[in-house]
């Protein structure tokens, strides 16, 4: 009885605290403090929701892979797994089990129900299913998920979480200083008729822009523009699952220095692996290439793959057609070394390329993980150094001018 009373009391307190926080956030959103906090709140919520959705998709893939590997009835296995889960994951598993009971193929059921999977993985499963390689592709995705989990170990989460938390707090403090303190700080030096240094003038103008006081014609504060930019970026990232947005942004992402290389490595790894597995299963070369062209990792790569496949179907040699389609030089050279792709070792060569690009993608991802935190810290140090220099240089100028005045030099 006592435990029940304590449980009810705790639940009521949690509800009250939740609504109090929501009311406080709603109140602060109409103030400059709310404009400062809004981008951070949006980023945190978006990151947490994306991470939760990604984990749900990985769990579903794991259940399906185990069912295929153990040759168990998938509808019954997924329904049993749903009984042991809760929340949105349970709902997703129940819908998936229902689709499978209705006779929908596994890849199509995953594509229709498991919206937590990105479009690239869903297109990969559909193409693999068409070529009879669904089990191998599920194993590939399972292996990739395990490798990605190694980059999300608890010590790595602390490695990322602590500097990001410090960065967020410092960002809020710096924006608060710029919006609330720097304008008052400027008035002190105006009263003493002290000329501000250039860096301080830049900081003052930046602060006025953030607060909407740069000039009489500024209607929207800079903080509001900053919050809008964050929301637009998040909207673009969220819209990458749509084909029209992929066609628009993919050529830009493809040519970025590091992110573009990671994007290309992931796309080429899946394409080469699918082609190698399809050829090993008895598919013709043009069928394997066109199946890889249906992947949605990269609209640019998909167009090049389709161009390559149609050229091969017309009778052109594999290496010449790949070179004409502007595919990576390593793929072209490997096809040339294999006699234009006519040797029996072509499936194994393509699987080797898939493993090579997978390893390259994992290396690039690990490098980005390792370099991101130092870059963030150094960027924060530059910003803090600029603000501190801008605030202290006028003090030195003011002290020197007052000292000169006191000794009679300034008379």
For the whole model, what pTM was predicted? 0.68
Average pLDDT of the residues in 384-398? 81
Q: Between 276 and 14, where is the model more confident?
A: 276
d(CA 68, CA 107): 12
Q: Could you tell me how far CA 364 lies from the centroid of its own chain? A: 14
DSSP 333-396: HHHHHTTTTTSTTHHHHHHHHHHHHHHHHHHHHHHHHHHHHHHHHHHHHHHHHHHHHHHHHHHH
Give the position of tokens 């501190």: 388
Residue 307 pLDDT class (50, 70, 90 cuts): very high
Segments making up each domain of the chain, as ranges: 11-150, 156-411
- Pair 73, 94: CB distance under 8 Å: no
For residue 127, what pLDDT is reported? 85
pLDDT of 265 above 80? yes
Phi, psi of 192 (to 5 degrees): -90, 5
What's the CA dihedral at 386, 371, 164, 391 to 10 degrees? -10
Average pLDDT of the residues in 307-312? 90
Average pLDDT of the residues in 194-207? 80
Average pLDDT of the residues in 294-301? 83
Q: What is the 3-state secondary structure (H, E, C) of 156-211?
A: HHHHHHHHHHHHHHHHHHHHHHHHHHHHHHHHHHHHCCCCCCHHHHHHHHHHHHHH
**Helix ranges restricted to H, 212-298:** 222-238, 243-254, 259-280, 285-292
Average pLDDT of the residues in 369-388? 79
pLDDT of 4 above 60? no
Average pLDDT of the residues in 271-287? 85
Of 33, 30, 29, 36, the closest CA to residue 171 belongs to 36
- CATH class, 11-150 region: mainly alpha
Average pLDDT of the residues in 257-266? 85
- Pair 236, 245: CB distance under 8 Å: yes
Encoded tokens for 202:
């830049």
Residue 240 pLDDT class (50, 70, 90 cuts): low
d(CA 264, CA 329): 13
For 399, counting Cβ atoms within 10 Å of its Cβ (0-12 exposed, 13-18 middle, 19+ buried), the class is exposed
- Tell me the per-residue pLDDT of 90-135, one tens digit each, with 9 for 90 and over: 888 888 888 888 888 888 888 888 877 777 788 888 888 888 888 8
Residue 27 pLDDT class (50, 70, 90 cuts): very low
d(CA 276, CA 340): 15
For the chain, give the mean pLDDT.
76
- Pair 306, 293: CB distance under 8 Å: yes
- DSSP class of 30: T
pLDDT of 23 above 70? no
Report the percent of the chain where pLDDT is more than 70: 75
Residue 411 pLDDT class (50, 70, 90 cuts): very low
Average pLDDT of the residues in 4-16? 54
Choose the weakest-confidence range: 136-140, 299-303, 354-358: 136-140
- DSSP class of 294: T
**Residue environment code for 10-39, b if the CB has 16+ CB neighbours within 10 A, otherwise e:** eeeeeeeeeeeeeeeeeebeeebbbbbbbb
pLDDT of 19 above 50? no
For residue 388, what pLDDT is reported? 83
pLDDT of 80 above 80? yes
Give the position of tokens 């595919």: 327
């Amino acid at each position: 009885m006592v435990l029940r009373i304590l449980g009810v009391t705790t639940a009521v307190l949690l509800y009250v605290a939740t609504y109090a926080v929501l009311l406080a956030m709603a109140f602060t959103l109409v103030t400059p403090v709310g404009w400062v906090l809004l981008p951070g709140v949006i980023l945190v919520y978006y990151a947490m929701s994306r991470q939760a959705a990604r984990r749900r998709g990985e769990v579903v893939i794991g259940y399906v892979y185990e069912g295929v590997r153990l040759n168990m009835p998938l509808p019954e296995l997924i329904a049993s797994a749903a009984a042991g889960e809760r929340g949105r994951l349970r709902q997703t598993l129940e819908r998936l089990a229902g689709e499978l009971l209705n006779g929908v193929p596994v890849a199509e059921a995953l594509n229709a129900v498991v919206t937590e999977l990105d479009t690239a993985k869903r297109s990969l499963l559909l193409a693999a299913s068409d070529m009879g390689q669904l089990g191998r592709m599920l194993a590939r995705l399972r292996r990739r998920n395990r490798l990605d989990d190694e980059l999300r170990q608890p010590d790595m989460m602390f490695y990322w979480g602590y500097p990001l938390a410090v960065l967020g707090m410092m960002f809020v403090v710096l924006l608060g200083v710029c919006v609330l303190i720097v304008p008052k700080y400027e008035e002190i030096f105006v009263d003493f008729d002290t000329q501000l240094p250039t860096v301080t003038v830049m900081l003052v103008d930046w602060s006025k822009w953030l607060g909407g006081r740069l000039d009489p014609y500024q209607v929207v504060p800079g903080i509001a523009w900053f919050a809008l930019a964050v929301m637009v970026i998040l909207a673009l990232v969220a819209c990458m699952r749509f084909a029209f947005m992929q066609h628009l942004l993919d050529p830009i992402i493809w040519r970025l220095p590091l992110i573009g290389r990671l994007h290309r490595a992931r796309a080429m790894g899946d394409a080469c692996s699918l082609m190698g597995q399809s050829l090993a299963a008895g598919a013709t070369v043009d069928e394997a290439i066109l199946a890889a062209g249906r992947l949605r990792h990269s609209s640019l790569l998909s167009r090049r793959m389709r161009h390559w496949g149609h050229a091969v179907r017309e009778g052109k040699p594999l290496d010449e057609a790949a070179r004409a389609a502007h595919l990576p030089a390593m793929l072209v050279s490997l096809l040339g070394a294999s006699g234009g792709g006519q040797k029996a070792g072509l499936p194994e060569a393509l699987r080797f390329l898939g493993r090579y690009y997978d390893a390259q993608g994992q290396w690039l991802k690990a490098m980005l993980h390792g370099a991101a935190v130092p870059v963030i810290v150094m960027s924060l140090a530059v910003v803090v150094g600029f603000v501190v220099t801008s605030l202290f240089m006028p003090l030195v100028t003011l002290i020197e001018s007052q000292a000169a005045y006191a000794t009679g030099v300034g008379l």
